[in-house]
Structures are given as structure tokens and as C-alpha cells.
Amino acid sequence: QKEVEQDPGPLSVPEGAIVSLNCTYSNSAFQYFMWYRQYSRKGPELLMYTYSSGNKEDGRFTAQVDKSSKYISLFIRDSQPSDSATYLCAMSGTGGFKTIFGAGTRLFVKA
């Protein structure tokens, strides 16, 4: 079993829809949770960063962490075609320099 599980999709939604992306994990030592966005043929770009449980909002993006369920989510409101990319969840432990990534979910937002 992988430490981080993420549905690879693809997920296709119409422009303006609310998108929900999710990951589950097995290592309870994870304390830091991140979402990266990766466009084709580019490196991942950090979108959101959350420590421990709770919510964090940044513009159209909201990250949620539920450590009791070992479940993290990223919500995208008013999705745009420019949001079409692969979204990677990632996590690390306290003092950890090694980040474990999910496989990524491919998102397509149709105009």
C-alpha cells in the first residue's frame, strides 16, 4: 500500500464548477500537507500549504485537512480553463525534509 493515495482521474468539469480533489494517507507522522499544481512538461508549483488539521483559504482555493480520518482535500471554486492541470497532494513529517507525493489527479475544465 502506498503512503499517499490519490485518484488519478481524469476529472472533467464545466467552467464555473466547484472542484473537489482528495487524498488519503496512512502515515500518522505526517504533519505538513501541501497541494502542488503541475502543467504539462513543467515542474510542480506550490499552491497551498497547511499544518496539521484545519482549513486554509487562498482566493478560489481552499485546503482542508482531517488528520483523524487521514484525509485531505483541495476545493477550487469558480473553476477556469486555466485551472486545467495535474494536482498533486504532498505531505511530510515534523522536521522532515522529504516530501511524499500522491500520483496526481488530472483536471480538465471545459469552457
Does position 95 interact with other proteins (CB under 8 A)? The reply is yes
* Cα–Cα nearest to 108, from 80, 78, 76: 80
Whole-number minimum distance, CB 31 to other proteins, in Å? 8
Whole-number minimum distance, CB 78 to other proteins, in Å? 24
- Residue choice 7, 13, 24, 32 for contact with other proteins (CB under 8 A): 32
- Residue choice 15, 45, 57, 58 for contact with other proteins (CB under 8 A): 45
* Cα–Cα nearest to 110, from 79, 76, 73, 87: 79
Question: Residue 10, preceding bond cis, omega within 30 degrees?
Answer: yes
Does position 49 interact with other proteins (CB under 8 A)? The reply is yes
> Kind of pairing, strands 61-66 and 54-58?
antiparallel
DSSP helix/strand/coil, 32: strand
By CB under 8 A, name the binding residues for other proteins. 4, 6, 8, 31-32, 34, 36, 41-46, 49, 88, 90, 92, 94-104
